[in-house]
A = this chain, B = another copy of it.
Amino acid sequence: MRCEVVAVGSELLLGDVIDTNSAWLGQRLATAGIESYFRTIVGDNVERIVTALRSALERCDAVILCGGLGPTPDDVSRDAIAEVMGVPLRRDEELVERLRARFAERGREMAASNERQADVPVGATAIRQHQGTAPGLICPVGDKVVYAVPGVPHELEEMAERAVIPDLQRRAGPPSTIVSRALRTWGLAESALAERLAPRVEALDVAGNPTLAFLAGGVRGITVRVTARASTRAEAEKLLDAEEAALRRLLGPLVFGVDDQTMEDRVGALLEECGLSLGLAESMTGGLVASRVVEVEGSSRWFRGGVVSYDSQVKFGLLDVPEGPVVSEEAAAAMAQGACRVLEADVGLSVTGVAGPATQDGMPVGTAFFGLCLDGRTEVVHRQLPGDRSHIRQLAVISMLDLLRRRLLDRGSSG
């Protein structure tokens, strides 16, 4: 089974928007065991979309067309598909009603132009929208198929997972299953990690299944991806289990999560195991840690809240930080203790530092002090973080969460 992605949008061609959808689909197709050899990006133009679709259909069995399903006149994906199928468009009145209902739910009236979104090429099947307003399409072209999905990333991802990938896999027939597992690490550079894992890399180079790949994710850490091929999912999972165990023996606490598990997911799970609540005091990260923590499902069970003490006066007044330089070990310690007290939390985690662009209190850009108040003890860790303002902030977030993770792990194993 071969499937190509055709992404529609003049904004993609012009480089105003970076095409992240195709990368997401590329990964998703690969893990589903579906081959993809070409990808095309084309502007909002019927004739050119038709050209791109025809070229793609000559080379492969299925095409996923992303974008161009909106209500405005430059949304012409529906017209292009109808032309490739050699059929007219028909307005689906049931879809019109659904669209109208979605608008009504939000207390808005639907513009007449939105009715275009209910146009379906004759012979095609609509994919109902769960999010947004643009329905997707499954369009047979001879014994091949074109899927149309919206260009808005979260709508595309939801619809691809729910309708497109399963349909592709049904068509692909009996499986040789490819299953991947990602071990997410924090604390070593890619080259050091590769050295640590050299015994496994060599062993797997000989055996050929599973395979290992390193994926540098910047502020999300480095991922070691294990991919196994087998005739059933269960067999593939068995290969992955064995390899994961071997890798974990070499990596120890460097592994913080598996697959989509984030650092904050892991921290949340550990806090819940320990029965501890968390309070934050953030300066340089400006609420970024809190915003990540609340993304964890069930965080309300252990997250009390945070204080974003951006201005020094807020540190002195609300958190009882002693007057003096606020980018300092003393300030980080007082902030962590202040977070425990003000937010009535068991654990206080704090950060103060210099995100840049200018130095502060004589400290260079990238300086960070993390404070941790746990079991009545307060500890401060100093780090020098590289990069620009935004990168420094992101590094601070994952570094301080990693500090808390390691201390909770130590506590678990000693207690």
- In this assembly, does A317 line the interface, its C-beta being within 8 Å of a C-beta of chain B? yes
Partner of A310 from B154, B299, B310, B388 at Cβ < 8 Å: B299
Interface size, A (range): 35 or more
Within the complex, the shortest CB–CB distance from A133 to chain B, in Å, comes to: 8
Query: In the complex where A42-B37, A190-B70 touch, is A291 in contact with B299 (Cβ < 8 A)?
Result: no
- In this assembly, does A305 line the interface, its C-beta being within 8 Å of a C-beta of chain B? yes
Closest to A41 in B: B39
Given the complex, which residues of B lie within 8 Å of A55, measured CB to CB?
55
- In this assembly, does A81 line the interface, its C-beta being within 8 Å of a C-beta of chain B? no
Partner of A189 from B38, B111, B154, B355 at Cβ < 8 Å: B111
Alpha-carbon separation in the docked complex, A154 to B395 (Å): 14
Inter-chain contact B309/A305, CB cutoff 8 Å: yes
Inter-chain contact A388/B25, CB cutoff 8 Å: no
Given the complex, which residues of B lie within 8 Å of A295, measured CB to CB?
286, 389-390
Inter-chain contact B52/A30, CB cutoff 8 Å: no
Closest to A42 in B: B38
Alpha-carbon separation in the docked complex, A306 to B281 (Å): 10
- In this assembly, does A311 line the interface, its C-beta being within 8 Å of a C-beta of chain B? yes
Given the complex, which residues of B lie within 8 Å of A128, measured CB to CB?
none
Query: In the complex where A307-B305, A310-B290, A311-B304 touch, is A11 in contact with B225 (Cβ < 8 A)?
Result: yes
Which has the most chain B C-beta neighbours within 10 Å: A12, A30, A106, A291?
A: A291
Given the complex, which residues of B lie within 8 Å of A24, measured CB to CB?
15
Which has the most chain B C-beta neighbours within 10 Å: A23, A73, A225, A386?
A: A23
Within the complex, the shortest CB–CB distance from A306 to chain B, in Å, comes to: 4
Alpha-carbon separation in the docked complex, A171 to B285 (Å): 42
Given the complex, which residues of B lie within 8 Å of A192, measured CB to CB?
111
Within the complex, the shortest CB–CB distance from A67 to chain B, in Å, comes to: 10
**A-B CB contact pairs (8 Å), 27 listed:** A13-B38, A15-B30, A16-B27, A16-B225, A37-B45, A38-B41, A39-B40, A39-B42, A40-B41, A70-B216, A72-B190, A108-B189, A113-B194, A131-B388, A154-B388, A286-B294, A287-B287, A287-B291, A287-B308, A290-B290, A295-B390, A300-B310, A304-B314, A305-B308, A308-B308, A311-B343, A313-B344
Residues of A within 8 A of B (CB): 10-20, 22-28, 30, 36-45, 48, 51-52, 55, 59, 70-74, 105-108, 110-111, 113-114, 131, 151-154, 180, 182, 189-192, 194-195, 201, 213-216, 218, 225, 277, 280, 282, 285-291, 293-295, 297, 299-300, 303-311, 313-314, 317-318, 342-344, 355, 357, 384, 386-391, 393
